[in-house]
Structure 1
Amino acid sequence: MKCPPILATEKERLKALFEYGLSSDRPLPSLDPVVQIAARMFSMPVAAVNMIGSDHVFFAASTGLEGAKVDMSRDVSFCAHAITQDGVMVVPDATQDERFHDNPLVTGTANLRFYAGVPLLSPDGHALGALCVIDGQPHHDFSQEDRARLRELARMAADRLELRRVELSTEQARRPFEEFARHSPTAVVWFDGQGRIVAWNDAAAALHGYEISEGAGMPVTKLLREQDRPIAAELIAHAATARTVDGLVMPERLHGLRKDGTEFLLGLSLFCWYERGCLTFNAHLQDLTARRREEEELHRLANTDLLTGLANRVSFYRRMEETLTRPLPAAVLMIDLDGFKDVNDTLGHAVGDGILREVARRLAKTTGPDDMVARIGGDEFAILLPGISTPERASELARLVISRVADPIVIDGHEVRVAASCGVAVAPMHAQEAVELIGNADLALFKAKSIGRGQSFLFVTALRMEAMARRLHNIELHRAVNDGEFVLFYQPQIRLSDGTLTGAEALIRWRHPQRGLLSPAAFLPALEGGPLAAVVGSWVLDEACAQAAFWRRNGAVDFRMGVNLFGAQFRVGDLVAEVASALEQHGLPPQALELEVTENIVLDNDDLVLESLQRLRALGVSIAFDDFGTGYASLSLLKQYPLSRIKIDRSFVQGMNESERDASVVRAILDMARSFELETIAEGVENASQHDHLRRFGCEEGQGYLFGRPVFAQEFAEVFGIGSPMRMGARA
């Protein structure tokens, strides 16, 4: 078992934790809804907020552990590991993790198998503990979306912890002077049962602007503003009758009065005792104006977005909970700005900030006094509309919001137009709980953005089903990677002039255990957009290089292998180093590998892709531009990118015999390729007529059903007589 490391700032961390006044016998009830939401959201039996002490761990809130006996020592705590990391710590299967496989929580009756936890930080950045979800079953499907939602709940928990610290600080400010005298000057006044000052100290006299000699005999109520004096007189009379101040509740907003007539917020602590048969009162006074101002500012900062002045995410969630608890009908609009990143990238963040402020102003102006507008983060906003119960009215307001945002915005002399997409959900029709309703509005927003710019969409149950389907699909993809269900097929590439085999394109397939062999159309969109793209891309590269090297050693001396790249491979790790390593490992010369990229990859990661491709080309690897002719930026990319080959898209090849326009496009592409000294290959060649036309036009190579369908390595080798395949597939 690996014990959790101790942070370098452990002393400061424990000091910060102490300020929250929590312990094993003093949990924080306001955190209960957070852990309950976490358990429901992720379908986990256990969720908890664990605070990490010096040598032990205690629950600030938990669900699913009622009556359970759990080892709470710090050495065995998973959360004690989580607070040493940034972001979410996920342990898919603790029995397979070298840190935890022999941990008593794993091997004992607790039977902990899955863990996901995120640190809870103080305002100064000290890790107080962690919000976690736990299961006795392993899970390999905890997605990036799940991590984001757990972080969201952790922010909610951290905000509630901070409110606890503020409330505790406020309570301490109202305690007797003796508890904080070490840090604050003491103003003390002694007066008798009739409310006459017997004596006071220098601090009390100075607090009210008097000389110390002016105090004796003065009515103590004269130190209060006039409207507070009856309250104080009644309080003193009650204490004098009862001969004790026990049970008296001190007014919270008393105001002191100085000699010059100015007022200030007064903190009052009152004591009394009998001395020589007479009742004497002792009052400790404090000017709370500055403290109250600081507390109000802290509350403002905790609930306000500093850039726009709107409510922030935490305040929005809290207001939503309050609204739905009553319960009241309400609508939620989730709003995201389309194209805002382009504005930031081209005009700078100062202009971007100005746009966000202007959008916030327009949203606030569009809504009513009972509505709440919040900036959730980045370029995302939210609107809570209490009392809106019909989808029609909510959708109408969504269209109005989109229209207002679409008007031109002038910032620093720049006229900018941004569009807004909007997702709509209505309570109680779509949900009765705040997190679920906001999540449904988010799903509707995701759908709206998929339709196009400036669109709105009303939540429907099918969106939740689609989200669940995506999650299940991601689970299956993880299994496919772990269990080696992906395989490569190979489609021949032929020299048109003499029919010689020049190489092949490696094409991925999924050998699904229930659905059989799946083509890329069934899974590639989900794979490309998910977290596994880089992993699978690395496997494809290694597998294809190994197969190409094997065939070159067995007769196909000049064989070239084409490998399609995922966009994620440019963002994760060092693609150039990975390619160089694969070539070296399999003894493959660089010219034997051709990497294929699409226009979408190039445009999504402009500078990053350009630099990587330049380094790969310098290494000697060929670069092919796939699906050429179908995108709007292809011509400009020919000038900028270090390409060696363009692949003419099948849509032009298949129509060239019947359509002179398609034939003209093919001829134009070939002419451009010759001008740029690029090689060419046509995709989708299915008949001899297409073959003949392409050869006459000067196209060098072809690929398509005329020459061969994509097949397993064994069948490919048999057809082209280049020996047996090295292997049929491998674990990705």
Structure 2
Amino acid sequence: MSADALIEGLPDLVVLIRRDGLVLECGGGHGVPGLRCRLDAAGKRIETLWPAPVAEFLKLLMRRSLALRTTAEARLEHDGIAYEARASARGPERALCIIRQASASSRDDSLEGSDERPRPQLDRRGFLRRCKESMAMAALRERPLAVAVIQLDGISDIAQIIATKVSEQIMSTAILRLPAKSDERDGKPWWYLGQLSESLLALVFESADREAIGECVAGLSASLREPIAIGGAEFHLTPYAGVAILGQDASTPKLLLDHARAAATEARRRGSSEVCFFTDTMRLESLARLDIAREMREAIAHRDIRLRYVGRHDLGTGRLTAWVGYLRWLHPLRGEIRPAEFLRVAETTGLAAQLSRAVLGCLKEDFASLAAAADPDVRVSFGALRHHVLHEDFAADIGRFLAEGALPPERLELRIAERALVARDPLDLHDLARLGARVVVDEVARGMGSLELLARAPLWGLQLDRAWVTGLRRETQSRKVCQAGIAVAQAFGLTPIASGVDDSGQREALLALGCRYGSGDLFRDAAPDITAPARAAVGV
């Protein structure tokens, strides 16, 4: 089923509005009394479609979102009906508004009182206020309290690849399907729910019993893992849960939430479905990340984070076809810091795009040595970071780099992660392709993809994710994924590439599947020394 059909069937009203109040797109609204979308809404001004108070309210919310460049939320009551609305900026001039009928909470904000379970809280500010009040009450009455954070992997990809409106409905469905209140006769703790962001849920427990909390959160996570059917399509989410306990792990609401989030991040890093409780080790790691963020700013300024290069080869002949650059940070005191460690910090601190631009600048200095170590047709492959790719100036940055004569356009290859490519409009990539630069989709089959995008984007190749290539000979699933990825590349006239070719058995298997180019430990030039011989011998 198409994304448009999914959106049209949503109960929430979804409107894409321009800054001046012109409706660009509209859909859904079956569950919003008095505000259902009209078929001819696109191209009309918002005040001509809905009552003046509602139109003015949406325009104010939209402008607040554009001014702050973030998501804005608010409530409105009109003609006796309460509405909840959320506006998310989509560039400098447009915002996506989601409107739904507000659901009244059936429980007081305290942890005591009625036995009725509250409806899921979608108002972040309201939840945070309630959390503070619960903590104050727990401290005053010397009662236990804990916070669990559940990170839902998959929501962001759905928002980027299909539509934010679909991910909103999936999130709402996921929240509404959570189990009813705990049966206190079984000794299970009471909890209430809040939504911290697009993909983060939080629960406040009136308990510090780790076993009981872990059992409860595990049950909720199991419910969230169940497939969600929307408009005939089926979606799967992967929850990762972390818990922090008041008094033991933190003494303020912000720290408690931060530590619960850190525990959830640790669960995600481990790939574990088990509930992860915050520990002092995580506290030290958190402080270390703060140090890394500070030092990273200095490293970017002094251009200390650079690229190490490995060769990509013709798997049949061993001929070098490209120098592939990967990030490398040699810290003067810490030694070499793994990209997996500092890239997470760069993304969470907003340094990723800045780092990507700085490393791109290093290519100009490296190119002379790279060119001397290879034949004239050997390209240099640069992997732009996701946040840089999604930035509106990405194509302009690459264009300026080439215009400055840093290296000939026909010698540049841009590697863009599949997840980043599907989240941007490929239109401006055509300008770079016309200059001679090649675009390769990296990390293929790691996340969600789009065949329609592969047909439209000016691509040269698809690079299979290393995780699938390394398991090619011993895992049936890995072989199937590699075979499918290579077949997709060939169907679209693209060049299949493999990363992680570490032995001759993998090389032979890839050649048999139709993949002719790859990089990995099989070749003796897989080292930071870019002056290695241009024609590496193939290992046995």
Q: TM-score scaled to structure 1, two decimals?
A: 0.45
Distance 1:424 1:320 in 2: 15
Q: Partner residue of 1:620?
A: 436
Distance 1:664 1:416 in 2: 22
Q: 1:477 aligns with which of 296, 301, 305?
A: 296
Q: Secondary structure at the match of 2:526?
A: coil
The one-letter code of the counterpart of 1:677 is G
Matched, 1:328 2:143: yes
Q: Partner residue of 1:584?
A: 403
1:650-681 CA deviation, whole Å, 9 max, x = no partner? 67877889999999998887676555433455
CA contact (8 A) 1:406 1:418 kept: yes
Q: Partner residue of 1:464?
A: 283
CA contact (8 A) 1:337 1:419 kept: yes
Q: 1:468 to 1:411 in 2, by over 3 A?
A: same
Q: Partner residue of 1:678?
A: 494
The one-letter code of the counterpart of 2:128 is R
Matched, 1:345 2:163: yes
Q: 1:536 aligns with which of 325, 337, 355?
A: 355
Q: Partner residue of 1:512?
A: 331
1:382-426 CA deviation, whole Å, 9 max, x = no partner? 54444x343223334434555677789999999998776544333
Q: 1:535 to 1:611 in 2, by over 3 A?
A: same
Matched, 1:558 2:373: no
CA contact (8 A) 1:321 1:433 kept: no
Distance 1:308 1:624 in 2: 39
Distance 1:544 1:509 in 2: 13
1:263-315 CA deviation, whole Å, 9 max, x = no partner? xxxxxxxxxxxxxxxxxxxxxxxxxxxxxxxxxxxxx99xx999769963223
Distance 2:411 2:139 in 1: 64
Task: Give 1:577 deviation, angstroms.
Answer: 0.9
CA contact (8 A) 1:549 1:587 kept: no
The one-letter code of the counterpart of 2:134 is R
Q: 1:695 to 1:707 in 2, by over 3 A?
A: farther
Q: 1:706 aligns with which of 523, 531, 535?
A: 523
Distance 2:351 2:369 in 1: 27
Q: Secondary structure at the match of 2:359?
A: helix
Q: 1:558 to 1:600 in 2, by over 3 A?
A: same
The one-letter code of the counterpart of 1:323 is A
The one-letter code of the counterpart of 1:425 is A
Q: Secondary structure at the match of 1:586?
A: coil
Q: 1:345 to 1:664 in 2, by over 3 A?
A: closer
CA contact (8 A) 1:394 1:426 kept: no
Distance 1:710 1:600 in 2: 27
Q: 1:528 to 1:710 in 2, by over 3 A?
A: farther
Distance 1:677 1:413 in 2: 32
Matched, 1:425 2:244: yes
Q: 1:316 aligns with which of 131, 145, 150?
A: 131
Distance 1:674 1:627 in 2: 17
Q: Which segments of 5 or more consecutive residues in structure 1 lack a partner in the other structure?
A: 1-85, 89-122, 124-299, 722-732
The one-letter code of the counterpart of 1:534 is A
Root-mean-square deviation (CA), in Å? 5.3
Q: Secondary structure at the match of 2:404?
A: helix
The structure that has the greater radius of gyration is: 1
Q: 1:367 to 1:349 in 2, by over 3 A?
A: farther
Task: Give 1:340 deviation, angstroms.
Answer: 5.3
* Correspondences of 1:18-167 after superposition (within 5 Å): none
Distance 1:415 1:655 in 2: 28
Task: Give 1:622 deviation, angstroms.
Answer: 0.5
Q: 1:487 aligns with which of 301, 306, 314?
A: 306
Distance 1:415 1:657 in 2: 31
Distance 1:414 1:692 in 2: 38
CA contact (8 A) 1:316 1:374 kept: no
Q: Secondary structure at the match of 1:711?
A: coil
CA contact (8 A) 2:120 2:193 kept: no
CA contact (8 A) 1:354 1:411 kept: no
Q: Which segments of 5 or more consecutive residues in structure 2 lack a partner in the other structure?
A: 1-66, 70-74, 76-107, 110-117, 536-540
The one-letter code of the counterpart of 1:620 is G
Q: 1:539 to 1:462 in 2, by over 3 A?
A: same
Distance 1:417 1:488 in 2: 36
Q: Partner residue of 1:645?
A: 461
Q: 1:374 to 1:596 in 2, by over 3 A?
A: closer
Distance 1:591 1:619 in 2: 7
The one-letter code of the counterpart of 1:586 is G
CA contact (8 A) 2:174 2:224 kept: no
Q: 2:416 aligns with which of 594, 597, 617?
A: 597
The one-letter code of the counterpart of 1:709 is A
Q: 1:611 to 1:710 in 2, by over 3 A?
A: farther
Task: Give 1:575 deviation, angstroms.
Answer: 1.1
The one-letter code of the counterpart of 2:163 is D
* Correspondences of 1:131-530 after superposition (within 5 Å): 312-335=127-150, 342=158, 345=163, 348=166, 351=169, 355=173, 358=176, 373=192, 375=194, 377-378=196-197, 382-386=202-206, 388-402=207-221, 422-448=241-267, 450=269, 456-494=275-313, 501-517=320-336, 520=339, 523-527=342-346, 530=349
Q: 1:366 to 1:597 in 2, by over 3 A?
A: farther
Q: TM-score scaled to structure 2, two decimals?
A: 0.59
Task: Give 1:505 deviation, angstroms.
Answer: 1.9
The one-letter code of the counterpart of 1:541 is L
Distance 2:419 2:193 in 1: 34
Task: Give 1:586 deviation, angstroms.
Answer: 1.6
The one-letter code of the counterpart of 1:474 is A
Q: Secondary structure at the match of 1:597?
A: strand
CA contact (8 A) 2:363 2:406 kept: no
Q: 1:366 to 1:425 in 2, by over 3 A?
A: farther
Q: Secondary structure at the match of 1:608?
A: coil
Q: Secondary structure at the match of 1:315?
A: helix
Distance 1:321 1:654 in 2: 52
Distance 2:171 2:193 in 1: 15
Distance 1:682 1:364 in 2: 50
Q: 1:668 to 1:434 in 2, by over 3 A?
A: closer
Distance 1:324 1:548 in 2: 61
The one-letter code of the counterpart of 2:352 is A
1:316-366 CA deviation, whole Å, 9 max, x = no partner? 302311321342233334455665564893765884686488469x66677
Q: 1:306 to 1:476 in 2, by over 3 A?
A: same
Q: Partner residue of 1:220?
A: none
Q: 1:306 to 1:651 in 2, by over 3 A?
A: closer
Distance 1:419 1:597 in 2: 24
CA contact (8 A) 2:463 2:497 kept: yes
Distance 2:277 2:352 in 1: 31
Task: Give 1:588 deviation, angstroms.
Answer: 3.5
